[in-house]
Amino acid sequence: MTATERVYAHIRDQILAGTLRPGARLGEAGIAADLGVSRTPVREALRKLSADGYTDLRPHAGAAVRLWDPAEVRSSFAIRADIEGQAAARTAQTITTGQLAGLEQLCARMEAPGAVAQRSELNRELHQTILRISGLVHAERIAMQLADIALLTLTFHSFSNAQAERSDSDHRMLLMAFRIRDADYAQAVMRTHILTAAAVLDDVSRSRG
């Protein structure tokens, strides 16, 4: 693994974990010193982070963790609902028994009692797997990128058990749709699943100010 990749992963993880808050400035020299590399790989990593939407990068002014305004976050859910909805429909049409078994297993791991810490990771994997099976090559890249944007906001909220259970239930409905190869149903469930997440987030944000 190259130094550039290490730097990229390091900063991205810190952003997603919330250690680096939106607006935080990312000085090249500081990061280079922290990770024990020169500024060159740091610069390359910052450019990729910017291209992937994690940071803002202005010429001669440096990089800063990107600040997403609520409207942008909402719009990311709206687009994901479209893309992942279509992907779910295609997946329902083409999924194999083996792939279905893999998804069942993912769901089971997510529903296990002690899996709270891994929920986010497993959820990500579930959605990514469905996108991959759909065969919509770009959908996977785009939807996962948008999902990360949502994650940046979600990091600062905690959700109730009831919401986790509802989400698990959505996933089970989705697998049922795949099992009976009902594309319309799969699409509807996926759209609802994602738009519900958006609505819950909106609801929580409003009530907290």
Partner DNA sequence: TCCTCCCCAGTTGCATACAAATATCGCGCC
Partner DNA sequence: GGCGCGATATTTGTATGCAACTGGGGAGGA
Residues that bind a second copy (CB under 8 A): 2, 5, 40, 43-44, 47-48, 51-52, 59-60, 71-72, 75-76, 78-79, 82-83, 85-86, 135-139, 142, 146, 149
Between 59 and 113, name the residue whose CB sits nearer to a second copy.
Answer: 59
**Cα 165 to Cα 175: distance, rounded to the nearest angstrom:** 15
Q: Does 29 bind DNA (CB under 7 A)?
A: yes
Segments in 18-118 forming alpha helices (H):
28-35, 39-51, 70-94, 97-111
Size of the site for DNA (CB under 7 A): 22
**Cα 197 to Cα 203: distance, rounded to the nearest angstrom:** 10
Place of tokens 């959700």: 159
Q: Does 172 bind DNA (CB under 7 A)?
A: no
Q: Does 38 bind DNA (CB under 7 A)?
A: yes
Q: Kindly tell me which residue out of 10, 48, 50, 62 binds DNA, with binding defined by CB under 7 A.
A: 62
Q: Kindly tell me which residue out of 11, 63, 106, 126 binds DNA, with binding defined by CB under 7 A.
A: 63
Place of tokens 């958006």: 198
Phi-psi sector, 73: left (phi>0), alpha (psi -120 to 50), beta: alpha
Enumerate binding residues for DNA (CB under 7 A).
Answer: 2-4, 25-29, 36-41, 43-44, 58-63
